[in-house]
Structure 1
Amino acid sequence: MIAAAKILEQRTHLVPGKLKITEHFFEVPRDYTKPSAGTLKLFARSARKAERPADNSDPEDKKRSQLPWFVYLQGGPGFECRSPQNNAWTNTILDKGYQLLCLDQRGTGLSTPVTASTLGLRGNDPVQANYLKSFRADSIVKDCEAIRKALTADYPAEKQKWTVMGQSFGGFCATTYLSFYPEGLKEVFIFGGLPPMVNGPDEVYERLYKKVIQRNEAYYQKYPEDVDRVKKIVTLLQKFGDSTVRLSSEGSLSARRFQQLGLQFGAHGGIDTVHELVLRASSDLSQFGHLTRGTLSSIEQSLSFDENILYSVLHEPIYCQGTASNWSAERIIQKYSEFSLPKDGPIYFTGEMMYPFMLNAYSELRKVKAPAELIASYADWPSLYSLPQLAQNTVPVYAAVYIDDMYVDFDFSMDTAGRIKGCKTFVTNAMYHDAVRSRVDDVMKGVWALRDDVMD
């Protein structure tokens, strides 16, 4: 039984676009099974229409404040939410009669953020590792339930359920929600986030590496001149070693770190983004024989692992149920010579995979190397999903599934959709993983058509 979160503070402001934005702070247990382990402060912003923005005494305002809730769960893990006025889909949700809640998941944004410095305050390496175990989907959905109960305490009982929208990892969280707390859910929307029903990440990466190879092939087909450019850049980086090319963050640009730019390939325009970086770096080499600060800064900013350490440290454990990840991506990549260095043919970029070398190459990750290694070897992860519950699910579920998704395998997604009773899918080969940002009108239209039975 999850108790309601303690509301610490709520302040409302008007923003351009006739939106009423409320900033919420809540207090919840860090470990719901052990309340004595301390608390976390969670932050969220809610939005609703401000039809009469200057009149706080509006008698209709209380009625509007009890509109049904629609909570958004950000992808990641480890990324905060944008403020509602900065999301292209906010007005779509509000126009459908909801009020929107954008939650900074625990450890992100203003929700007791996990950084190298804040983690260091917790104690020694084992204590830090134990603390990090509290930031997976199983804890996030408990936070959601606690917040839902706090925000709907004055609602009639029949209106206390809310709607969840999950993007990418947010969809993983939504599926965990369906598994263990379906009583709090009215309906669920998932965008590129139907999780694989696996106990560990090995099979996930077996499939995703193959998709990354396809994206590399598409990249070099579009920009064949980049084959030689990338080779020259990698040759330079290998010549000077893993720690010689210093970055402003005090990290270093190794050849393997440069390969990680392939993370961009899974998004709309990602191939072009990588090309722009390669072109800039190649131009530097032809003119000066080294990479300039501006180029290094652009490469550094395109990979945000230092700013979101949960993304790196917990990325493999988000798949774990009773197993250790043991640096799965590093083990599986050995099967794919396409990514090896040095290499005679085109050098392939990697994708959304985490590797132990990152704990030396990235300055912030370097500071959490010991607890990260402990997390990689930890095996006693609790279950994230209940297959029996999903099989008897009664909550309406609508999911966008992308055939060419480089981050979440299509076949795994469709298998999971089949395991969730009543799940309807909008399947497309015309969009990539970030469609909810880059193709928002098209993907929203497709998914909401499922909900409104237009496609039946």
Structure 2
Amino acid sequence: MLMWADDTAEAPAGSGPARTRSYRLPGLHVEEFSIPVPLDHFGDRPGSLEVFARVVGAPGSTKPFLLYLQGGPGVEAFRTTADSPPWLARALEDYRVVMLDQRGTGRSTPIGIVDGAVTGVPNALRTPPRSDAEADALAAHLTHYRADAIVEDAELVRQALGTRTWSVLGQSFGGFCTLRYLNSHPGSVAQAFFTGGLPAVGRTSAEQPTLTEVYERTWETMARKSRDFHRRFPQSRERLLALAERSAQGLELPDGSHAGPAHVRLLGHLLGASGGPERLHYLLDLDVDSASFRADFAAAQPYSARNPLYAVLHESCWANGVTSYWAAESAMPGEVREDPSLLAGEHVAQEIFRTGGLRAWEGVAHTLAAHDWPVLWEPSRLAAAEVPAAAIVYFDDAYVPREYSLATAELLPDVRVWVTNEYEHNGLRASGSAVLDRLIRMVRDEV
């Protein structure tokens, strides 16, 4: 049992001993630990991995825990400092914050390709797939890296911390995980906070929006944001058209890979965050044949070999008992397809697995796109989750359409919803402490 256990705690469910390390940062005390968890929480596929977390608090703090679930999928939690993330100081007024690296990321048995081998997988899967059978085998392993497994990992972390309940803060995909938490383990959650992270569920299975419908809404939003960007920066459209034409021949990047038109279109993900339009403007202002442009272009890509799960599993994070099968491409409107200056957000294109740094994952991505995914959220279970919750829904969210978020919120019996156009999808971080402070006060009925 870890040092945080109290005499009301339940014993860890076979999680085994945790490895711990503690240290101090200015004004903070940090405890790190990792625990072994099963690969397959729901079946009999053999294997295990380690899940890593940091507990951040003031020295000597005994405040309740707040689990932070990062956006993604496939992205690790923040590496904290006294002023990062910007909302941390507000959170520490009321909680000790648990920064969980979701399985396959950060220090939680990370998935990737390093020195010609796939990391974080059994030895039999370490060779990057070169055949359909090898791709299918690796894809089968990666089917265990969705929100349902992340929540089961979190439950073992909670038990290792010796607390019966904790609060959960879910940003974007982290909100999808938080909703799964309310679906499966509502008794473990004292409070739930959603920031741009209420997925499309629908009141009944018949009313559940299709993935194509979800992506149609996001394409509409991105087309509008693209046009707003071109009005604000009049030369941007011509630059993007020229860049798309140039990339059709292959735009070499610093790592030796080549970007194609889909990579140019994906620069639009910058438009979904505060300060993003300015970043895109200054990127397009650079000489396309300069080293600075090529490096900054590569760094601006949302999907890369650093966190391959972000691309490989992205569409599956929406898949509630269905296949995803390249839904974003299927939903792309004709006007967008014909105009490269109308940009994408988090729209995964098959092309990014044929060029660029994700080429080795192409077969895996195709197999996962055809996978029949289990149900993540059931309306009847959510309607029975009597957990105090608060959610911010961004009016013009580029990634999570507000209409579907509001419909999902109606399923939760004790949620307070704040709809605003003051922030973009990154409002939790961009607002400093403002968004989290308001959500905390909302869940306490102070707002």
The answer to whether the superposition gives a TM-score over 0.5 is yes
Q: 1:441 aligns with which of 424, 427, 433?
A: 433
Tell me by how many angstroms 1:40 deviates.
Answer: 0.8
Aligned position for 1:271: 277
Summarize deviations over 1:40-86 as a string: whole Å, max 9, x none. 11111111111xxxxxxxxxx4xx4x531111000000100112323
> Any conservation in 2 of the 1:122–1:128 contact (CA below 8 Å)?
no
SS at the partner of 1:102? Answer: strand
Greater shift in the superposed pair: 109-118 or 169-178: 109-118
Summarize deviations over 1:208-244 as a string: whole Å, max 9, x none. 0000011001101101122222222223333xx2x3x
Summarize deviations over 1:385-436 as a string: whole Å, max 9, x none. 1211211221101111110111110111110111111111111111110011
Tell me by how many angstroms 1:291 deviates.
Answer: 1.6
Aligned position for 1:94: 92
**Structure number having the greater helix percentage:** 1
SS at the partner of 1:147? Answer: helix
> Any conservation in 2 of the 1:29–1:35 contact (CA below 8 Å)?
no
Summarize deviations over 1:259-315 as a string: whole Å, max 9, x none. 1100111000111111111111xxx2xxxxx52222111000111422111110111
Aligned position for 1:208: 218
Tell me by how many angstroms 1:119 deviates.
Answer: 6.1
Tell me by how many angstroms 1:91 deviates.
Answer: 1.7
> Any conservation in 2 of the 1:199–1:323 contact (CA below 8 Å)?
no
Tell me by how many angstroms 1:322 deviates.
Answer: 2.8
Tell me by how many angstroms 1:341 deviates.
Answer: 5.0
Summarize deviations over 1:327-362 as a string: whole Å, max 9, x none. 1111111x33134257xxxx2111111011111122
Aligned position for 1:371: 364
Q: 1:223 aligns with which of 217, 233, 236?
A: 233
Aligned position for 1:48: 57
Aligned position for 1:55: none
Aligned position for 2:140: 130
User: Judging changes above 3 Å, is the alpha-carbon distance between structure 1 residues 431 and 111 closer, same or farther for their aligned structure 2 residues?
Assistant: same
Tell me by how many angstroms 1:8 deviates.
Answer: 2.9
Aligned position for 2:328: 329
Structure 1 residue 24 and structure 2 residue 27: aligned?
no
Please give the alpha-carbon distance, in whole angstroms, between the structure 2 residues aligned to 1:227 and 1:369: 30
Q: Across the two proteins, how many residue pairs are aligned to each other?
A: 415
Please give the alpha-carbon distance, in whole angstroms, between the structure 2 residues aligned to 1:297 and 1:447: 38
Aligned position for 1:426: 418
Please give the alpha-carbon distance, in whole angstroms, between the structure 1 residues aligned to 2:395 and 2:124: 42
SS at the partner of 2:252? Answer: coil
Aligned positions of 1:117-196 closer than 5 A: 117-118=118-119, 121-123=123-125, 124-152=134-162, 160-196=164-200
Please give the alpha-carbon distance, in whole angstroms, between the structure 2 residues aligned to 1:425 and 1:7: 40
Tell me by how many angstroms 1:36 deviates.
Answer: 5.8
User: Judging changes above 3 Å, is the alpha-carbon distance between structure 1 residues 11 and 261 closer, same or farther for their aligned structure 2 residues?
Assistant: same
Structure 1 residue 454 and structure 2 residue 443: aligned?
no
Runs of 4+ in 1 over 6 A off after TM superposition: none
Structure 1 residue 260 and structure 2 residue 303: aligned?
no
> Any conservation in 2 of the 1:180–1:386 contact (CA below 8 Å)?
no
What's the TM-score once normalised by structure 2's chain length?
0.89
Please give the alpha-carbon distance, in whole angstroms, between the structure 2 residues aligned to 1:147 and 1:119: 20
Q: Which residue identity is paired with 2:174?
A: G
> Any conservation in 1 of the 2:67–2:97 contact (CA below 8 Å)?
yes
Q: Which residue identity is paired with 2:71?
A: G
Gaps of 5+ in 2: 1-10, 126-133, 202-207
SS at the partner of 2:197? Answer: coil
> Any conservation in 1 of the 2:274–2:430 contact (CA below 8 Å)?
yes
Please give the alpha-carbon distance, in whole angstroms, between the structure 1 residues aligned to 2:12 and 2:363: 33
Structure 1 residue 11 and structure 2 residue 21: aligned?
yes
Summarize deviations over 1:178-237 as a string: whole Å, max 9, x none. 001111111101111011114752111011000001100110110112222222222333
RMSD over aligned CA atoms reads 1.8
% identity of equivalent residues: 30
Aligned positions of 1:399-414 closer than 5 A: 399-414=391-406
Aligned position for 1:58: none
Aligned position for 2:351: 357
User: Judging changes above 3 Å, is the alpha-carbon distance between structure 1 residues 140 and 218 closer, same or farther for their aligned structure 2 residues?
Assistant: same
Q: Which residue identity is paired with 2:411?
A: R
Structure 1 or 2, whichever has the larger Rg, is 1
Please give the alpha-carbon distance, in whole angstroms, between the structure 1 residues aligned to 2:63 and 2:14: 19
